[in-house]
A = this chain, B = another copy of it.
Amino acid sequence: MTIKKPCVLVIHGPNLNLLGKREPNIYGKLTLDEINANILDKANKLGIIVDFIQSNHEGSIVDALQEAEGQYKGIIINAAAFTHYSIAIRDAIAAITVPAIEVHLSNIYKRESFRHHSIISSVVYGQISGFGGSSYLLALEAVADIISNES
């Protein structure tokens, strides 16, 4: 008898596809592909299957969140710019029952004041920010922990 590995969805918000090229002093030198590779690596060790989405379109992220229901055991979301104004994404996270973890590469409290407020913080499970690409890895560990507690 085989036990199905739990699936986790990683959502990268707008402009994160430029990682490594865009303002590396803020966002680090890793490209999105390299970050994703690190995530896969970690996921392997944790026995988790990971899918990735990157989109510059708010609506596509809302769609993805809705479709995650029943498909995934956890969501890791770096909503990037949408963090600060997309009530649509907030409502989608609140509408589904999959636990979502908010991550940020940079410490958003060291940046422009309009980045200090997250519209999605009050509907996610928890937040991890400031650890560069490792923010995702810590979130993956947190998800693994949540999944193992639930099962």
Contacts and interface: CB of A to CB of B under 8 A. Distances in A.
Copies in the complex: 12
Nearest to A56: B62
A6 interface: no
Contacts of A126: 107, 128-131, 135
8 contacts: A17-B66, A21-B95, A23-B95, A58-B59, A80-B91, A81-B90, A81-B91, A126-B129
Interface residues of A, number: 53
Interface of A: 13-15, 17-18, 21-23, 55-60, 62-63, 66, 80-82, 84-88, 90-92, 94-96, 107, 109-110, 114, 118-119, 121-122, 124-131, 134-135, 138, 141-142, 145
